[in-house]
Amino acid sequence: GRAITYSWQSSDPGSFSNPTSSETTYQPLTQGIHRIQVSVSNQRETIVKQMDLYISTTTPSYIYPQINQTGLPVNTSISMTFNGPMDDSTLNDASNIVIQGASGQNYTTVTPNFCKETNTLTVRSQPDFLPGDWITVKLKNIRTSSGFNVEVADWVFQIERLNLNIYTDPINDEDTY
């Protein structure tokens, strides 16, 4: 049998973990469209395959509330800042933002507000969050200004619990809350 050899190349800066193996990992240095090429040879013939991959490094660089943050007020606003220009129509579309409580409560959002100058999305939930509820935030169908999808991991935070103190006045037979 003839030995089979592999050769991986990219049109853009980046590196392959093992450029002469049948399996490799590509580490891009820039975002954008990268043309990846693999050549497979058995010493008699060479087959070359090319594919275009879009590499996006656009992600939220800041989120509030932070992941697993606790003790937040029931009227907490949610915000995130992205590290690159975004398609504001995808972020201003309330159907792309899902806010759900562990209590089973689905929170609908007031009109989201995306600021292009700062790449910041702010969302206020209606109704207010339930005390003690763990809130999950999910974004879907979000795109960069170039039209490429951005995956945003879901995250959770907890609203402060209500402490209800009851004082009994045995003389007047009244309870005070």
Cα separation, 23 vs 16, whole angstroms: 10
The proportion of the chain whose per-residue pLDDT surpasses 70, expressed as a percent, equals 90
pLDDT of residue 91: 93
DSSP class of 96: G
Average pLDDT over residues 17-27: 89
- The pTM of the full predicted model, rounded to 2 decimals, is 0.65
pLDDT tens-digit readout, 93-151: 999 999 999 988 888 877 799 999 999 999 988 889 999 999 999 999 999 888 888 88
| Residue among 24, 55, 17 nearest 38 (CA) | 24
SS3 state of residue 63: strand
